[in-house]
Structure 1
Amino acid sequence: MAIVLTAVLQLAACASRPTDAVLQPESAAGGERQITLLTATDRTKDGQGFASGRAQSMAFEKFSISIPPTHQPSKIEWAKGKPNAKRDFVVTKRTTLDRPAFLALAGTPGTDGSVGLFVHGYNYSYQEGLFRLAQIAADAKTGATPVLFSWPSEATVTGYVADRDAALFARDDLVAVITEMSRQPKVKKFVLFGHSMGGFLIMEALRQLKLEGRGEVLDKLVVILAAPDIDADVFRKQLTVIGPLKTPLTLFVSKDDKALRISSFLGGERQRAGRLDVDDPVVEDAAARYGIKVIDITSVKADDRLGHDRYANLAAIGPQLVSIEQRDGVSSRQTGAFVFDAAASVISSPFRLAGRVIAGQ
């Protein structure tokens, strides 16, 4: 395991990361379409962007990002050199907002009455979170204006422990944003999507909302956690406090997520929620007991070497998942453990009534 960790650190050290220069507005000439995004962050301002410092007050922005005609699903076409809207994701407009202006825009739902908020994971910069949300929005073709909550990640591989603390630092701010957005008069449904350590932050926010008696907020939430980096025992404790949500929480897991394997190693070889095995009857029982839906998406292609970014493909296959659920009789309110077979386009339960595994599924 130490060898694997060393290899990952070496790989990360060689990888090129986008600087805050990508946040500077450029021409939209040649771009195929524009995506409007909102951001809320408790990072400290630094130059043209935001750093890993922990700010005492939040900042809000509105971005327009041009999507190139050559865009491929799940990919972020980063600029290499001067940004060109014909081939790159390009910021074309950037506006600073105050809190009321942000809430007015963030609380304007799509035609189905829903709004959405994305919480990024460990080792993310502000610009990486922004452009990842742009990719998700471009592939999903959502109606409402997507919102990024960017907490003060160190944006370094070696910042794992600091990121854990930063997520807890951001909990109150995330609770405030969720509460204020959900209270906007036209909002009927609030999709809350978190990846990796962002899932841990979301669960802590839900726990706080429950303890504060904010049932009216929790009832609007549709919570989706992709590869959540949460100790499995901590996750169960969080679920015990939160209780079943009106719309069951959805958990996307993968057995071959190497990033979560490393996280498990760093945490004393303790199981992570994002690597739960849906073939284990204990997981099926726990899903029913806590009122959640666990879906194994190991069959979905991962673009990174660690198998941790499958969530980037979820936007493109989201409508497919919905139609499959409707076709195969898997209700959005149904709980349990399921397997998504990307090749066969089917969601199936790996369990018989007695908890035995169905061969071949």
Structure 2
Amino acid sequence: MLVAGGITACASPARGVLAPVAAPSPDTAKVDILVATTRAPTTQKGVFFSGERGSDLSLANVVVSIPPNRQPGTIQWPRRLPGDPERSFVTTAVNPIKIGDIRTWYRSHAVSDRRVLIFVHGFNTRFEDSVFRFAQIVHDSRAEVTPVLFSWPSRGALLDYNYDRESTNFSRSELVYVIQQAVKSPDVSEITIVGHSMGSWPVMEALRDISMQNKRISPKITDVILASPDLDIDVFRKQLTDIGQERPHISIFVSANDRALRLSRLISGQVTRVGGVDLTDVAYKAQLEKATGITVYDLTQLRDGDSLNHTQFATSPEVVRLFGERLLRGQSLSDADPNASGNFGATAIEAGQTIGTVTGAALSAPIRIFESAVRR
């Protein structure tokens, strides 16, 4: 049972936390999110969408207020309802959007360089968990992006692993639609897609479908980031083959100490999960060194973030900062950029070397990087 806890999300302690509150004070931060979901709507106050499967795609504009004076990488859940904007994450607006108005939303929420970030959450994630986690990532990474959350039907229960996994298949076509609408929008110039854990499966399947339907993937989709991907490593190889060589650059966060993916491997026929690859294994390292357009970040030695080593890309203050300063701008952590605000203390980091320090902050342990010679 202790191991089973490895794939639980950072669950909220109360239900109904998404009920909008009055406008917070000026010292709070705001994250304005487009939510696209295949979850079933619910009339339960402050919940909006359940973990069951809906009959169609639903869209909503959700505005999250984030309290001041908080530790990056954390979510402050309301202890009681309504939440106090000075102390906890709350929403100030949850407004439905018609499917036909999605491009209008992009136009009204475009940032200066028209970059969009699409995030797909993982297993055992209730709707409110996905909303607050994504808001935390966007805020803490300090990335200038238009944020889009794709939330598929997860019941938020440990024993519903198979239900959740089938729900990702159930939602694949709708994710394709959301991605394609961003591609078609004249108010979007670049798209980064992030899939966490089980959410990496629909991301890869959506890209595979787009490639096979259109014979290509739009160059607007510049980067795909797979964080602790709960992907069968053999299936992942086949997905890459089907997508083809003309694909976005793929960054993968892995950890040999990921307790969640150890359990996933156990219940999935003992097949290695991509996010749990041990890069000290010579065979895996040899495959990565020959890969094209893939960079792997090994977080095994990190000691901050979550105790399960499964959400470090979002919960480690150091990693989430790197995530925003580099990866969400389409840059590898090893890219040389003397004009960047954060200098990583190296001009070019070869495959297998490490990043140990960042200006103004020292990593608790190095991040090992395995990067192919060709990024795309």
What TM-score range do you get, normalising by the shorter chain? 0.7 to 0.9
Superposed displacement of residue 93, structure 1 = 1.5
* 267, 290, 300: which one aligns with 1:298: 300
Superposed displacement of residue 80, structure 1 = 0.4
Superposed displacement of residue 291, structure 1 = 3.0
CA distance in 2 between counterparts of 1:261 and 1:339 reads: 25
RCO (CA 8 Å, sep 6+): is it higher in 1 or 2?
Answer: 2
Write out aligned runs for 1:246-261 (5 A).
246-261=247-262
Superposed displacement of residue 285, structure 1 = 3.6
Query: Which range moved further: 299-308 or 128-137?
Result: 299-308
Give the counterpart letter for 2:60 in structure 1: E
What TM-score does the superposition give when structure 1 sets the normalisation length? 0.86
Secondary structure of the equivalent of 1:22?
Answer: coil
CA distance in 2 between counterparts of 1:235 and 1:349 reads: 20
CA contact (8 A) 2:297 2:368 kept: no
1:273-332 CA deviation, whole Å, 9 max, x = no partner?
Answer: 00112333433443333531111122444543321110213432325555852343459x
Q: Is 1:25 matched up with 2:20?
A: yes
Distance 1:279 1:329, change over 3 A: farther
Superposed displacement of residue 142, structure 1 = 2.5
Aligned length: 343
Superposed displacement of residue 246, structure 1 = 4.5
Percent identity (aligned): 32
What corresponds to 1:7 in structure 2? 2
Q: Is 1:158 matched up with 2:168?
A: no
CA contact (8 A) 2:298 2:367 kept: no
Distance 1:258 1:183, change over 3 A: same
Superposed displacement of residue 245, structure 1 = 4.3
Cα RMSD, aligned residues only = 2.8
Superposed displacement of residue 37, structure 1 = 1.1
What TM-score does the superposition give when structure 2 sets the normalisation length? 0.82
CA distance in 2 between counterparts of 1:79 and 1:202 reads: 31
Secondary structure of the equivalent of 2:17?
Answer: helix
1:52-92 CA deviation, whole Å, 9 max, x = no partner?
Answer: 22112111111221111122101001010131011101111
Distance 1:129 1:340, change over 3 A: farther
Give the counterpart letter for 2:97 in structure 1: L
Superposed displacement of residue 217, structure 1 = 2.6
CA contact (8 A) 1:116 1:192 kept: yes
Write out aligned runs for 1:1-361 (5 A).
6-9=1-4, 17-30=12-25, 31-46=27-42, 47-48=44-45, 49-82=48-81, 83-106=83-106, 108-213=109-214, 215-217=216-218, 220-287=221-288, 288-312=290-314, 313=316, 314-319=319-324, 324-327=333-336, 328-330=346-348, 339-341=354-356, 343=362, 349=369
Give the counterpart letter for 2:98 in structure 1: D
Give the counterpart letter for 1:136 in structure 2: I
CA distance in 1 between counterparts of 2:221 and 2:19 reads: 35
1:125-182 CA deviation, whole Å, 9 max, x = no partner?
Answer: 1110000011011112232321110000121111111111000000000011101111
CA distance in 1 between counterparts of 2:110 and 2:366 reads: 30
Give the counterpart letter for 1:87 in structure 2: R
